[in-house]
Amino acid sequence: MLEISELKVSYQGHEILAGIDLDLSQGDSIAIIGESGAGKTTMGLALMGLVEGRVSGRIFLDGVDIAALDGRERRKIRGKDMAMVFQNVEDSLDPLMTVSDQIGEAISVHQDRGDLRDVEGRVLRLLASVGLEEQKGGSYPHQLSGGEKQRALIAMALANDPQVLILDEPTASLDAVTKSQITKLLLERIRGKVALVITHDLSTAARLTGRMAVLYAGRIVEIGETSDLLENPRHPYTRGLIRSSPNMTTTKDLQGIPGRMVHGVSGCPFSGRCTQRIDVCDKEAPPLVEVGDRMIACHRGGIVPLLELSGVRTKFGSFVAVDGVDLTLYEGETIALVGESGSGKTTLAKTVIGLFSHQVGEIRLEGVPLARRDRGFYRRVQMIYQNPKESISHRMDVFDAVSEPLAVQKVGGPAERAAIVKRVLEEVELSSDDAFLRKYPHQISGGEAQRVAIARALVLDPKLLIADEPTSALDASVQAKILKLLLNIQEKRGLAILFITHDIALARKVSDRMAVMLSGKIVEEGPTGDVTTSPLHPYTMRLLEVAPDLAPARGAKVTGRAGGGAWTISEPLPLRAREL
């Protein structure tokens, strides 16, 4: 019913939309999401023929290219076959006209004279259909609440039963209760129509639409089914948007997207903010192509796997410490490896870093099997150990401890190394003056020692950081600061983090995904919100039961020993999308 092809919009030579392609059938609903300035509203106005600036491309409505029509013909379509609920409620309603008069005007401009006598009746029916009482029709806009004004705008847009309905931020600035009411109303009214929901509110998009298109700097970078895209974003920008959006299922602290949006770049528009960019990203804009069940515009096919473990088995004599572990850590994400002492967490970490050897299985870094750990490996992978004062030589001062990796890797000369050390110390919120640089581990606090250990791990700008119980020896206040620091550094640098902890309450605040380890095996793995609110394995349930201030969802009745690793289930637990 609606086909958009190569839609471009520019203002005074500045390109706002850079070639939009969409194909929607009757009954399709799609959300257009993105940051402010991405071009969302411009897209809606361009479809309506209301945009300023230079417009090119084709917009087919029932096979007719409405973009090629003159102004008079376009006005016949606007409000009748295609209508829009505009973003700013206050500017969209005439303060000198009653609500009924404005709805009636929307009807009468598209009616023959003989049909005008029925306008009043239709206005009353429209008011009722959007949940406004009849007497509200006689009110002026300033006499209505925000939710009532939004209902009036929806009634105006629906006045002529349009085939295409464009909703621009339909729930912006509304309180949660009113937003829920308006969303429910819209869900009923868009049924059977082509609906484009322009919004930065992901919860609204999730409730109203079946598909979602992510817009960045005038280009669509990802399209997919709404639920799948929100649960498993595959473009780095989409993941950044979701990480920035608060919702009741998110457990990890909010993270933003570093940098700012820039239009009109020659390469990938997201390249300047992307942490997995390669040379071609700065030179060519990636096409929107099919990747599995998605359309993605990314030269690397979306978020790439950084670390992959397949059937990894590590044993010491006859004792199996890590038993057939499969795990994938993606670029820029955090996986929390959770379990009791002795479950195999640290052994797995030391196997990855190369301190222990695995006898079975394969470990791949950026798709390449690790035959040995050379200098190149340790420039990309670093580890923060559990006790910083034991992992840093007591014979080294702060400067020597942080600069040692640079010397081993032969990075720069003395002056360059000193500059790098000071910059990294400032990044981890430590002093970089000479007095602090010359302190030894016994002369600094536990929190400062941990920050020095983090600086030492970051000084080579690795892609993967393995953090083994990095806050276990710290008090709660310092622990919170260290965790916030790690999240900020991840946001800035795009680090992937393998976060090892026995504290599941702590893990839920820092991780995107969680893997629960018991007796050398991963017994449950999935998005952190799912694992902590709907655990499937009895051991996960046990960890949640003993965690502070958590009320886990109860599953099947289970029995077992807290540390023994032997569990029975009195009734079977269903397998879900998450691995068990």
Query: Which region holds residue 287: left if phi is over 0, alpha if psi is between -120 and 50, else beta?
Result: beta
Continuous H helices in 190-342? 202-208, 226-231, 236-243
As given in the structure block, the two tokens for residue 298 are 């990314």
Instruction: Determine the Cα–Cα distance for residues 431 and 409; give it in Å rounded to an integer.
Output: 25
As given in the structure block, the two tokens for residue 306 are 């950084």
In one-letter notation, the amino acid at residue 579 is E
As given in the structure block, the two tokens for residue 103 are 């709805």
pLDDT score of 550 more than 50: no
Evaluate whether 2-81+162-296 and 306-530 have a shared fold: yes
Q: Can you tell me which residue has the tokens 């886990």?
A: 552
- Residues counted in the chain: 580
Measured CA distances, 33 to 205, 208, 210, 550 (Å)? 8, 13, 13, 33
C-beta separation of 510 from 499 below 8 A: yes
Q: How confident is the model at residue 197 (pLDDT cuts 50, 70, 90)?
A: very high
Beta bridge partners of 568: 559
C-beta separation of 31 from 241 below 8 A: no
Full-model pTM: 0.82
- Residue-wise pLDDT for 527-541, tens only, equals 998 898 899 999 999
Measured CA distances, 53 to 46, 56, 84 (Å)? 10, 10, 19
Sorted by where each begins, the domain ranges of the chain are 2-81+162-296, 96-161, 306-530
- Residue-wise pLDDT for 460-508, tens only, equals 999 999 999 887 767 777 778 878 888 888 888 888 999 999 888 888 8
How high is the pLDDT of residue 117? 65
- Residue-wise pLDDT for 355-407, tens only, equals 999 999 999 999 999 988 888 999 999 999 877 777 788 899 999 999 999 99
Instruction: Determine the Cα–Cα distance for residues 580 and 578; give it in Å rounded to an integer.
Output: 7
CATH code given to domain 2-81+162-296: 3.40.50.300
How high is the pLDDT of residue 431? 92
Percent over 90 (pLDDT), the chain: 40
In one-letter notation, the amino acid at residue 277 is R
C-beta separation of 59 from 4 below 8 A: yes
C-beta separation of 470 from 503 below 8 A: no
Q: Are strands 82-85 and 319-330 parallel, antiparallel or unpaired?
A: unpaired
- Lowest mean pLDDT: which of 10-24, 101-115, 170-184, 311-325? 101-115
In terms of C-beta distances under 8 Å and separation of at least 24 residues, what long-range contacts does 521-524 make, across chains too?
521/323, 521/324, 521/325, 521/344, 522/325, 522/326, 522/327, 522/579, 523/580, 524/578, 524/579, 524/580
For every residue of 50-87, DSSP letters joined together read ---SEEEEEEEETTEEGGGS-HHHHHHHBTTTEEEE-S
Average of pLDDT values for 120-139?
A: 85
- Lowest mean pLDDT: which of 22-31, 172-181, 397-406? 172-181
Average of pLDDT values for 98-118?
A: 75
pLDDT score of 338 more than 50: yes
CATH code given to domain 306-530: 3.40.50.300
Q: How confident is the model at residue 31 (pLDDT cuts 50, 70, 90)?
A: very high
- Residue-wise pLDDT for 214-249, tens only, equals 999 999 999 999 999 998 899 999 998 888 877 655
